[in-house]
Chain A
């Protein structure tokens, strides 16, 4: 195959990948988008296999079979509630394969046309070390993020004295070793870059708390793209550069949206230490009175209403309550109640997490609205059903300047006539902030497991049908 044909096919593949992302602008075109993505990947792989240097296919086929089988098995079995940790785990693989590809380029530069072992072009060495460093940071960072999301590692931020100084020193050391590699092409320098970056990946993510995970997952998404682009520069491969840039900017935009959804600056998220610790002001909390109710009360209130807005949060995902919740909503709809869902941008542990869970429970996407679309409707709504959300519905974010979440955009739940809140206990949310909504006299608390509560409400609703 001629070089220009290869380049043209890589271009075609890049266009397919752009179309894949473009398809996600609406749920209708999204499935075609995924087909574009798969086509782009198939074109890229077969074009590469037709390169003159690729002549031994045994190990390649074996590798694809092993990897493909593992990937397929995981993807078919994974629960939708576990998506954030799955995505984090997948990011780590992109990072690690970037490191291995860079290593291969370092030991066999001839295959990539970037020089000979011991005599690699300086520019290629610099590009290689940047790709390696980002890849290694993505790898360990994603593993820590996976551990936190899966509950293997504590979701609490791990902070120690001099943390940022240590990171800074490691960063400077990394830059110095990259210069060393560029000048000397030393094997020692290459592996030192790998080790320092692996360490940096761990240290960057450990101080970031559970509530900031949507930002972290998006950020690592972005890193995996930049790692691919770095490798693309090393191999002078425009396809890798284009895809890396697409993925990198995608992750960066998602991180930005998540930061805005929490009114936090990207820098403050990266520096970490936020969330997890419940603040010490728990003493006076006990004295305040909350109105408690049972499933039957909730069923009665909701079936009398004409409009209900459901506000799901991470608690719904943890309890796997989406199916029972949708069943409850269906029964209410049958009784003539207008039911809609309001999704806060940072609800859940990854961008769009709630939307997927509701889609899994067969909720039509027209009924699922974003914060901007629905926030004006709360005032004219009779009942709001908050399930597993806390900080995202905290009115203190609008009024209490001393609150840790002051300024964060929140759903105007308190404007509705009645608010029902499903919650396991009175514990505060991830930000560790008290929620005055729970003490409002318009609010009725429904204590218990989210799924069990929805099932009980469903029973009550069914009982009242006869």
Chain B
């Protein structure tokens, strides 16, 4: 076998690969189309989100039972602060240019959630700073 025949073979393989690539790309495109359409279809999307929800409830259950009763007040303050992550929805509403009802609602929700975020974390910090060991 000489060098040229090897090169020829390599060329042929490359060509074949190229031909193969086209149907694979098609399949990939089709798959992603299907995935896209199914994830925008409410049914599957809901099951997916509901899975996350149920797992998060379980995480919450085990994590919160491990919280020491002495820190139940800070627990309430911090859960209150983090539930204001609802600000995410408010930011999306307040984000677009121009004025409409949705933007005004978003703006009000940003204010309300901010009160909670700043207030909640600061009050938690104040409480936690007080808990100290024996000197």
Contact = CB atoms under 8 A, between A and B. Distances in A.
Contacts of A233: 46, 49, 53
A75 B1 CA distance: 84
A63 B63 contact: no
Given A101-B86, A238-B52, A48 B75 contact: no
Given A75-B118, A236-B49, A108 B93 contact: yes
A67 B89 contact: no
Nearest to A57: B95
Contacts of A235: 88-89, 92
Given A26-B68, A72-B118, A352-B71, A37 B81 contact: yes
Contacts, number: 393
Contacts of B92: 48, 51, 53-54, 104, 111-112, 235
B85 A228 contact: yes
B90 A100 contact: yes
A101 B78 contact: no
Contacts of A218: 76
Interface stretch (B10-18, B25-33, B121-129): B121-129
A60 B107 CA distance: 7
Contacts of A242: 52-53, 56
Contacts of A412: none
Contacts of B68: 24-27
A220 B117 CA distance: 17
B113 A97 contact: yes
A51 to B, nearest CB: 7
Interface stretch (A117-125, A276-284, A416-424): A117-125
A22 B68 CA distance: 10
B125 A31 contact: yes
Interface residues on A, range: 35 or more
B105 interface: yes
A240 B86 contact: yes
Interface in A288-318: none
Interface string A113-131: 1000000011110000000
Contact of B85 (A44, A87, A100, A360): A44
A80 B77 CA distance: 12
B73 A100 contact: no
B108 interface: yes
Interface of B is mostly: helix
A436 interface: no
Interface residues of B, number: 85
A246 B107 contact: no
B83 A249 contact: no
Interface string B102-135: 1101111111111111111111111111111111
B63 A22 contact: yes
A204 interface: no
Interface in A226-273: 227-229, 231-233, 235-251, 253-254, 257
A80 B127 contact: yes
A345 interface: yes
Interface stretch (A88-96, A143-151, A162-170, A445-453): A88-96
Given A94-B116, A242-B52, A24 B90 contact: no
Interface stretch (A173-181, A364-372, A374-382): A364-372
Interface of B: 40, 42-43, 45-46, 49, 52-54, 56-57, 59-61, 63-98, 100-103, 105-135
Interface of A: 13-14, 17-18, 20-22, 24-27, 30-31, 33-34, 37-38, 40-41, 44-45, 48-49, 51, 53-57, 59-60, 62-64, 66-72, 74-76, 78, 80, 83, 86-87, 90-91, 93-94, 96-98, 100-101, 103-105, 107-108, 111-113, 121-124, 217-218, 221, 224-225, 227-229, 231-233, 235-251, 253-254, 257, 343, 345, 350-353, 355-356, 359-360, 362, 364-368, 370
What are the nearest 7 A-B pairs in CB distance?
A67-B114, A54-B95, A352-B72, A71-B119, A63-B110, A108-B102, A71-B118
9 contacts: A21-B75, A27-B132, A40-B82, A56-B98, A69-B118, A74-B115, A90-B116, A100-B112, A352-B71
